[in-house]
Structure formats: structure tokens, C-alpha cells
Amino acid sequence: MTSIYRRIGWKPALGLLLLLWPLLTRLIAPDVTYYDYMVSLILINICIAVGLCLLMGYTGLVSLGQAGFVAVGAYTAGLLTTNYSWDLLPALLAAAVFSGLLGFLLGLAAIRLKSTYLILVTLGFGVSVPHLIAMWKSVTGGHDGMAVNGPTLLGLDVSGPKKYYYVVLVVTGLLLWLARNMAGSKIGRSFQAVRDSEAAAQAMGINILITRAVSFSISAVYAGIAGGLYAHHLGYISPGDYEIIISLNFLIMVVVGGSRSMVGSALGAVFLVVITELFSRAPAGLMAVFLGCTIMAVMLALPRGLASLPDVLREWWYKRKGEPRGAA
Amino acid sequence: MALLEISGLVQAFGGLVAVDQLDLSVEDGRIFGLIGPNGSGKSTVFNCISRFYQPQSGGIRFNGKNLLKMKPHQVVRIGIARTFQNLELFENLTVLENLLVAHHTHFRSKLPGCALNLPRSRREERAAREAALEILRLLDLAQYAEEKVPSLPLGMRRRVEMARALVTRPRLILLDEPASGLNHREIDHLTETLRDVNDRFKVTILLVEHNMNIVMSLCERIAVMNFGKKIAEGTPEEVRSHPEVVTAYLGEKK
């Protein structure tokens, strides 16, 4: 078991599992699409988490309004495919561009602000977007929301849960690949430099204002695309899905998972979706209590999130055995 | 020809005049010392050159260009690098990554190229790594390339900051008290390194330092500041025997 794990590595193995997932679920439960649906939902949340990881973990900025960007993406893509019969691909691109632009402007608007105030700007954005959508009744259907057409991708019908699963998988895979490339390049390093020392970052030729705005924009692009995917995943959009509490949940998922690491952030997304599902039939408010307690516990025990658990355990193990750190 | 030309520089904070009508001219290729008691305005001069401060009046020209028209992140592009008195390393990055950040302005790849991991971006990344490792080797830091900064002793961290400044390929390097907190052995090592850097990379050095041994042995020319004003300038010998300098450092004879 260990040797196979070592030889292949977990990433290709996980990739293969995800690739075969709809076939596996068909074998196990032929008439149920629930499992495809759930994994799609996890993947969509992973897109949001990875965008937030670049913003929070790499650049050291906090967004309390990420659901606002998800909403912008959801409505942009949903309105384009439904009212204007756009193909899903250009609709997602439009969602990416529009939310990315808003993210950039929000980042720029915060130019004069210290990061503490920037958080409040994002909070304002997150609070107002769902209400703006609700008020713009003629276009969005207001609080009642609107149904979204089954999507077509390059002319092909991709509206079934199994077909749509693959759309989500490919888009998520692409976004993860792009994020990994950015993180390992001068872009990711400039984010981290701005986070660790503004003075030194500037002395190295990094424009910190533009860097912050770009980081904001990238996280907004990820949220926007995730929103576009989510709209067609549900087949329905309503402002209630993007309330400020959802933004807080996104923040919690990244922090619980570990914002400094993409794997950790993605784990946080899995955590959030699973918890939301487990609590879906529980009394209202119970999930909020649970999440609230979780984040307190994680912050106290594992400030760097679940992703740091292996390191922490290793350290504890060596300490217990009385050996110097990193002896093995 | 003067590489760096400061004329009539005034920087005040409220009522406090930190730098008062300072004239300074640093020749290309030299090691120039800027000394003075604590609070005499040396670091303020650095922060004006780095463009962190906007002086009230006066001019700073570098290689014929007007520095005061530039933003802090543009200064490195024309060839000025610096270190910081209180160390401003990127604490969560490895030593090598710290140096790679300094390579930032030499990348021609932009965001899309990096995101798509295009061949040019990969090529540039490899070249940057090579260049950074080369400088780490020259400063005897190669074995720490993968270490994170907080695990290094202070002397080593100061060397990393210097290495990082060198990666930007500067013509002028501003060193803000590079010897503070170092022990004797580290200081000898530093003196050697500075001479080597000046020699090998043809880098002009403007050195703010309290350790007189370093300043006197390295610098061909020294300016002395006190209360924001330049009180003396000349060779180490001239400065050492200058009456105002003696007074500034040792106090008035009663």
C-alpha cells in the first residue's frame, strides 16, 4: 500500500479517481446522480478556495466579500446563457472578465488604505452585492431568483449531472494548473514579497499597489468562474445564495484548511461542502455554531490550518521521543 | 563623474529637520562612507534616495536622472539597490526565493506567460535560479539556499540581504549599518565581502555604518553628518582629525 502510494504519488491517483468518478458512481448507484453532484460542488468550491489562497495566503490580504464575486460571476454567466442563449464557454469567460475587473477596481480603490481598512471595503462589497441583485428585479428576478438554462459547451449539450461534472472537472483542473504556475513564478513571489515586507518589495522593484490589485483581481476571477459554474450546476440563481454569511464560510474554509497552502485551501473546500451537507437537515443555526467552534479550535491548535497537521504531528513526535527536530 | 549627486536636500518631519541642506557627491566605483552620531539623519538620506520619503527641497540625481521624479519601485530599475538597518527579508521564503524576488525586474515574462508556464517563462525562471545561486556561491551562502530566513543567525541574514541587493545588478548599493549586531569574525568577513563586491561587480557603495574600523579601512571618502547637516567630508585621515567631527563624537572639551 505504502509502496504504491510512494511510487505513484497522491496527485495522479486523485486525478484518476476524479476522472473515473462518474463511471464509478454509475456502477455503484446507477440511478443516483447525488455523488456526481456533490463532487462537482466540491470542485466549484475548490476554485473559490484556490483564488482566496492566492489572495490571503500569498498576498496576505483578507476578503470578507468573496461571495459577492461569486454572485457577479453566477449572474453574468447565468443571464448570458439564459437570456441571450450564449454558449457556456464565452459566458464563463465573460463572468471571469467582469468579476476580475470588479476585483481590480476594488483593489485599486483600496490604494490609500491599510489592509485593515481594505477588509472593510470587501465587507461592504460582500454585503451590498446580493441586495443590489435582489433590487434589480427586472433583470434578475429579485429575491425569487431565476432559472438558468441547461448549458451547452461548444454546441454540445452538457446539462446532465454526469456530463456537467466533466465540465466542472476540466475548468477546475485548468484553474488549479494556472494557480500553481502563477504561485511558482515571479507573480507568486511578488505576492509573498508584498506580504512579508512592503519596503523590501518596493526596493526590489515591485509596485505594491498594482500587485495587490492584481491579486484581488485573480481571486475575483476564480470566484467569478466558480459562480458561473455554480449557476449552471444548480440550474437556478437567487441572491440568498451569496449572502455575507456565505462569504464568511469561504473565509473559514480557507483558514481552516490552511491559507498558506493550496492543498490546505482545497481541503478546506472539501470540509465546507461536507459540513454544509451534513448539517442540511439539522436545525437552523447549528452549522454556524459548529463552524464558529471549529475555527476557534483550529486557530488555537493549528494556526496554520489543517494543512500544517502533518508538520505539527511530526514535531510533537520528535519532541516526545526527545530527539532534535528534523533528526530523521 | 559623480554617479550620485545630492544637492541642498531638506527633509523635515513636522518641526524636526532631519536632513538640512545636504550636498553629497558619490563618484562612480567608490566606497563612500556616511557616518555620524545616532539620529544625525543618515538613514533619512537613504530613505530619500529610495524614495520612501519625499524631501521638501533639494535634488537627487543618479547617473544624470532626476530621482525625485521616481516612485519607490522604480529606483531599482535604474540601478540602485539597498539593504535595511533592521533587516527586511521575506521571512517566509527561503534564501533562494528571497534572491529570486530581487530578480523581479529582469523578467520579461508577464502574468499570462507565467500563468501558462510558457517556454520563455520557464527559461527565464531557470536563468534567474542560476544567477541567484551564482551570487549565493560568491557570498558563501550556497549551502543555505533552501533554508528559511528565521533559521539563520543575524550575520548570515545580513549577508543574504546583501546577496539579494546584488541580484538586482545594481550600480549603486546603499548599505544601512551592515555590521550592526555582528561579532568580530563576522565583521572581518563583511569587510572582505564589501571590498570584493566593490571590486568584482564594479558596484559603487554608499555605506552608513557606526563601526569606525570598517568605515576607515574601506572608504576612500567619508562624509560626516550631525543634526542633519554635513559637518565634514574628506579622506579617512582628514575626517579623523577634523575638529568638528571630534566634537560631534566625543563631545565638547570642557
pLDDT for A4 equals 55
* In a shared domain, residues A26 and A71: no
Class of the CATH-defined domain B2-90+153-250: alpha beta
CATH number at residue A93: 1.10.3470.10
Q: Are residues A244 and A288 in the same domain?
A: yes
pLDDT digits (tens, 9 = 90+) for B219-237: 999 999 999 999 999 999 9
State the nearest Cα–Cα gap between B94 and chain A, in angstroms: 11
* Claim to verify: residue A169 and residue A25 sit in the same structural domain: no
Judged by CB atoms closer than 8 Å, whether chains meet at B73 and A205 is answered as: yes
Q: What is the mean pLDDT of residues B154-178?
A: 94
Q: Are B88 and B178 in contact (CB under 8 A)?
A: no
User: Pairing mode, if any, of strands B172-176 and B204-208?
Assistant: parallel
HSE-CB for B88 with a 13 A CA cutoff? 22
* Distance of alpha carbon B89 from alpha carbon A208, whole angstroms: 16
Residue range of the domain that includes A10: 1-32
CB contact B117 to A (< 8 Å): yes
Task: Give a yes or no: residue A327 inside a domain.
Answer: no
Kindly state whether residue A240 falls inside one of the protein's structural domains.
yes
Burial A113-122 (b: 16+ CB within 10 A, else e): eeeeebbebb
| Residue pLDDT, tens place only, B47-61 | 999 999 999 999 999
Q: Are residues A45 and A6 in the same domain?
A: no
Let me know whether A6 and A150 are in one domain.
no
Based on the fold, state whether residues A5 and A50 are members of the same structural domain.
no
Q: How far apart are CA B239 and CA B224, in angstroms?
A: 8
Q: Is B77 on the interface with A (CB under 8 A)?
A: yes
Q: Closest-CA residue in chain A for B161?
A: A200
Separation of alpha carbons B158 and B193, rounded Å: 12
Question: Does A206 lie in the same domain as A260?
Answer: yes
Within a domain: A303: no
Domain ranges of chain B: 2-90+153-250
Same-domain pairing of A109 and A200: yes
pLDDT band at B160 (very low <50, low <70, confident <90, very high): very high
Is residue B127's pLDDT more than 90? yes
Determine the distance in angstroms separating the CA of A198 from the nearest CA of chain B, rounded to an integer: 9
Residue A326 in any domain: the answer is no
Q: Is residue A229 in a domain?
A: yes
> What size, in residues, is chain B?
254
**Which of A6-10, B103-107, B208-212, B219-223 has the least mean pLDDT?**
A6-10
Residue-level pLDDT, tens digit, chain A, 328 residues: 455 556 667 888 888 888 888 888 888 887 888 888 999 999 999 999 999 999 999 999 999 999 999 999 999 999 999 999 899 999 999 999 999 999 999 988 776 667 778 888 999 999 999 999 999 988 888 888 899 988 888 888 888 888 899 999 999 999 999 999 999 999 999 999 999 999 999 999 999 999 999 999 999 999 999 999 999 999 999 999 999 999 999 999 999 999 899 999 999 999 999 999 999 888 888 998 999 999 999 888 888 888 888 888 888 888 887 655 544 4
Closest partner residue to B93 (CB to CB) among A185, A196, A208 is A196
Residues A124 and A65 in one domain: yes
- Whether B84 sits inside 8 A of A199 (CB atoms) is yes
* Predicted local distance difference test score (pLDDT) of residue A10: 81
SS3 B94: strand
Overall number of domains in chain A: 2
State whether B75 and A187 contact (CB < 8 Å).
Answer: no
Q: Which residue in B has a C-alpha nearest to residue A60's C-alpha? A: B92
pLDDT tops 80 at residue B114: yes
A167 within 8 A of A81, measured Cβ to Cβ: no
What pLDDT was estimated at residue A7? 61
Q: Give a yes or no: residue A45 inside a domain.
A: yes
In this structure, the answer to whether residues A173 and A204 fall within a common structural domain is: yes
Q: Do A204 and B116 touch (CB under 8 A)?
A: no
Chain B CB contacts of A182 below 8 Å: 111, 114-115
Chain-centroid distance, C-alpha A64: 13
**Does A202 contact B at CB distance below 8 Å?**
yes
The answer on A15 and A141 residing in a single domain is no
pLDDT of residue A1: 46
Distance from CA of A146 to the nearest CA of B (A): 35
